[in-house]
Structure 1
Amino acid sequence: MALSSLAAAQGYQLDFSPSALKGPATGTPNEVLVLATPHLSQLPASFDATNLQLLNDRLASWKPQAIAIEALSGMQCDFLRRFPHRYKESIASYCWDLAPAPAATGLDVPAAAAQAEQLLAAWPAAPSASQRRHLAAVFLAGGERAPAVVQWLRLPESERQAGDGLDATLVEQLRTLEGKRDESYQIAARLAARLGHERVYAMDDQSADSISTDRKAYGEAVMKAWDNPATKKRMRANEELNKRLGTPDDVLAMYRAHNGPGVGRLVFDSDFGAALNEPSPQRFGRNYVGYWETRNLRMVANIRDVLTARPGSRLLVVVGASHKAYFDAYLHQMHDVCLADVAALLR
C-alpha cells in the first residue's frame, strides 16, 4: 500500500512551474549569490581568519548591494523568548544576553528595531562618527550584533570608542565580536563595511525548533541514520581540506570544494536522505527532515523579503554548507530571483 501510494503521488505532474516564469520583462533582475561556508568556529584552532583575504576579494568583485547571514534577528529572539517552554534550548544556543545594551540605551528590542529603521531611512550620505556609534548602540539593543559590527568597522580606528550610547561594556562587546571566528563577522560584516553598506541582514530562523517527547531515542535514531558511507566520505573530505588552511590560496580552495558540483547530493545522501528512511516506529527521521525543510523555507522567505525592499539588486547570502543546495533550489522557484554561479566566481 505504501509503495503504491508513493508511486501514485510521484505520477502526478504539475502544469505550473514558477521557475519557468521569470521576470520582470524589463528592468534589472534580482540576483542572489549563495556562498556555502563551513562554520569558522569549527575549523582547526590554527585557522587564521586573515587567510580569508582572497575569498573576500572574490566576493567583493561581485559587488553585492546587500548581504544576508545565518543568524537570528533580534526580533526573532524576542519572539522565541516569549515561548520558553518550546524554545529554551534555541534561546541558549542562538540568542544572546541583551541586558548591557538596554541598560546603556534605554531601548528594548521593539523600540530599538523601530529606531534603527527610522535612523536608516534618514541616513545621511556622510554620517558622523557620533551617528555611527549611536546606530551601533541601537543595533546592539535590538539584538543585531553583526549590523552593529558593520557600523563599528566603518568608524575610523581613532573613533572606535565609547560615547553616543556605547558604554565601555558595549565597546568591549564590539571589539570581541570584531575578532570572533564566525563567518558573519570575518566575511559578511567585513565585506559590508568594505563595500560601504550600513548593515547586514539576519535571515536564520529557528521557529521550527521543538522538544521531542523522547530526546534520547530521537538523538540515537538520527545519529544511527547518519552512520553511513556518504557521511564517512564527507568527513574524510573535510579532514583533508582542514589540513591545508595555511594560506589564502588554501582557504579559497576549501571554499571551491564546499561550493562545487555534487556537494548537495552528497549532503542529502549522508544526512537528510538517510534520516528520511530512518526506520524507528516514532518516525524520528521524518520529524528531523520536516524541521530541516521548514527551517530552510523560512530562511529563504527572509532572503526574499530583503530583496522585496530593493528590486533589481544583488544579494550575497553567506550560509552553512548544508543549506546551499536547498537555498538554490527554493530560491530558483521565485519569479523575481536569478541565481548567480558562485563556483564560477571562486575559480
Structure 2
Amino acid sequence: MQRLLAGIFVAAVFHGNVFAVESPGPAFMPGAFKLQRGQPNELMVLGTAHLSQLPKSFDPVNLSLLMDRLASWQPKAIAIEALSGAQCAYLRSYPGRYDDTVKTYCWDPAPAVSATGLDVPAATAQVDRMLAAWPAAPTAGQRRKLASLLLAAGEPASATVQWLRLPANERHAGDGLNDKLVEILDKLRQKRNEDYLIAAPLAARCGHERVYPMDDHTSDSNVADEKAYGAAIMKAWDNPYNATRKRQDDALRGGLGTPAGVLALYRGFNAADAAELVFRGDFGAALEEPSPQHFGRGYVSYWETRNLRMASNIREASALQPGGRTLVVVGASHKGYLEAYLNAMHDVRIISTDSILRAE
C-alpha cells in the first residue's frame, strides 16, 4: 500500500511539474533553415502611414526623398496592401458576409468590364497571357491594351503603372481604353493613397510592369453585437502605450512640410521598437480585454489570420523572381507581423529599412 501511495504521489508531482513548466516551443523552426546555395529572395517591408489620412495640407511632392531612397534599393517587385481583383470577385459572391468589405476595400471594375466586354476572370486570364509574351520594348498601343485589361481584372494600381510608363502624349483613348477609362487612370495617378503615390510610380520608375496586391480580407466576418464589440475594443485601446504612440505620431506628422520631414516620419514608423509598441497598445491590449464574449481575442484572431494570408501572398509574389528583391508597402501596424512570419520562410531574407531611411 505504501508503495502504491508513493507511486501515486510521484506521478502527481511529475504531472504537476509538466503542467507548471512552459512549453519550450516546436522542435522544428523553419526560419532556422535558410537557402544555402545561390542568392536568397530579399524582402524589405516599408511600414507606411495611410496617405489618405494625412492632413489635406500634405503635398505629395515631399515624398521625393523617400522615393529616391526606395529606388536606390532597386526592388524587382513591389507588393501593396490592396485586394486583388480575383479576391474581390470571390468576396462579391458572398454578399451576406462580405458586403461591407467589398464596399470598403474593393475597386469597382464595372466601367472597364463594360468597355472591354470581359469580366474579372476573363480579363485576368488575358493579362496573364499578355505578360507571359511581353516584349522587351512594348508599343504604346500594347501598354494601353494592358492597362484596359488590368482595369477590367480589378487591378487599378497595376493599370496605373502601365499608364505612367507611357509618354505623356500617348496617354489617350484607344486600344481598349475609352474616354471614361482614361479619365479614371488620370484620377488614379493622383489619388492620395500609397498605392498610387508611392508604389505605382516607383514600379514605373524601376521598369516594372505591375505591382502585386497582397492584402486579404477573407477572415472578415459579421459581429453579432457590433456596439458591444466596438466598446470593448475601444476600452482596451485606452492605454498608456497608445497615448505614447499618439504623441510620437503627432510629433512626426509635424514635419510633413519637407522631404526630410517625410523621411523622418517613415524612419519613426519603421524603428526597431515600433512593432512592440503597436502590439502593446493595440493587439496585446485587446487580447487581454475581459468581455465575456472574448471580443478582443476574436479581433486578434482576425488580425493574425489576415497577416498570415498577406504573408503567403507576398511569398508567392517573391517566388516569381528567385533571388530578387521585393519591396512591401504596407500600413505600419502590419510591419512587425509580416517580417516575423516571412522570416520563417526558407528562401526569404528580411532586409532592414534602416539603411535607406537614414537621416541625411
Q: TM-score range by the shorter chain?
A: over 0.9
1:134-179 CA-partner distances (Å, limit 9, x unpaired): 0000000000000000000000000001111111111111111100
Residue 200 (1) aligns with residue 211 (2): yes
Correspondence 1:316-335 to 2 at 5 A = 316-335=327-346
Structure 2 CA distance, aligned partners of 1:145 and 1:192?
14
Could you say what secondary structure the match of 1:10 adopts?
coil
Correspondence 1:250-289 to 2 at 5 A = 250-289=261-300
8 Å CA contact 2:107–2:156 kept in 1: the answer is: no
Q: Given residue 286 of structure 2, which amino acid in structure 1 is its aligned partner?
A: A
Q: 1:77 to 1:19 in 2, by over 3 A?
A: same
Correspondence 1:86-101 to 2 at 5 A = 86-101=97-112
Query: Which region of structure 1 is more displaced relative to structure 2, 229-238 or 134-143?
Result: 229-238
Q: 1:7 to 1:333 in 2, by over 3 A?
A: farther
1:76-101 CA-partner distances (Å, limit 9, x unpaired): 00000000100011000001222110
Structure 2 CA distance, aligned partners of 1:294 and 1:246?
37
Query: Which region of structure 1 is more displaced relative to structure 2, 306-315 or 252-261?
Result: 306-315
Which residue number corresponds to residue 122 of structure 2?
Answer: 111
Residue 18 (1) aligns with residue 17 (2): no
Specify which of 74, 77, 80 is matched with residue 63 of structure 1.
74
Q: Given residue 104 of structure 1, which amino acid in structure 2 is its aligned partner?
A: A
Which residue number corresponds to residue 163 of structure 1?
Answer: 174
Could you say what secondary structure the match of 2:330 adopts?
strand
1:213-258 CA-partner distances (Å, limit 9, x unpaired): 1111111101110010111111111111112111101100110000
Report deviation, 1:7. 6.6
Specify which of 326, 329, 337 is matched with residue 315 of structure 1.
326
Q: 1:153 to 1:7 in 2, by over 3 A?
A: farther
Correspondence 1:70-219 to 2 at 5 A = 70-219=81-230
Q: 1:216 to 1:262 in 2, by over 3 A?
A: same
Which residue number corresponds to residue 243 of structure 2?
Answer: 232
Residue 305 (1) aligns with residue 313 (2): no
Could you say what secondary structure the match of 2:45 adopts?
strand
Could you say what secondary structure the match of 2:210 adopts?
coil
Structure 1 CA distance, aligned partners of 2:117 and 2:18?
57
Which stretches of structure 1, 4 residues or longer, exceed 2 Å deviation after superposition? 4-14
Report deviation, 1:11. 2.2
Q: Given residue 219 of structure 1, which amino acid in structure 2 is its aligned partner?
A: G
8 Å CA contact 2:62–2:259 kept in 1: the answer is: yes
Report deviation, 1:40. 0.3
TM-score by length of 2: 0.93
Q: Given residue 26 of structure 1, which amino acid in structure 2 is its aligned partner?
A: R
8 Å CA contact 2:217–2:306 kept in 1: the answer is: yes
Q: Given residue 207 of structure 1, which amino acid in structure 2 is its aligned partner?
A: T
Which residue number corresponds to residue 41 of structure 1?
Answer: 52
Structure 1 CA distance, aligned partners of 2:18 and 2:318?
37
Aligned-pair identity in percent equals 60
Structure 1 CA distance, aligned partners of 2:227 and 2:61?
41
Which residue number corresponds to residue 295 of structure 1?
Answer: 306
Report deviation, 1:109. 0.2
Q: 1:126 to 1:111 in 2, by over 3 A?
A: same
Which residue number corresponds to residue 39 of structure 2?
Answer: 28
Q: Given residue 329 of structure 1, which amino acid in structure 2 is its aligned partner?
A: A
TM-score by length of 1: 0.97
Q: Given residue 298 of structure 2, which amino acid in structure 1 is its aligned partner?
A: N
Which residue number corresponds to residue 13 of structure 2?
Answer: none
Q: Given residue 249 of structure 2, which amino acid in structure 1 is its aligned partner?
A: N
Report deviation, 1:9. 8.0
Could you say what secondary structure the match of 2:328 adopts?
strand
Q: 1:86 to 1:7 in 2, by over 3 A?
A: farther
Gaps of 5+ in 2: 1-15
Structure 2 CA distance, aligned partners of 1:337 and 1:64?
14
- The total of aligned residue pairs comes to 343
Report deviation, 1:12. 3.6
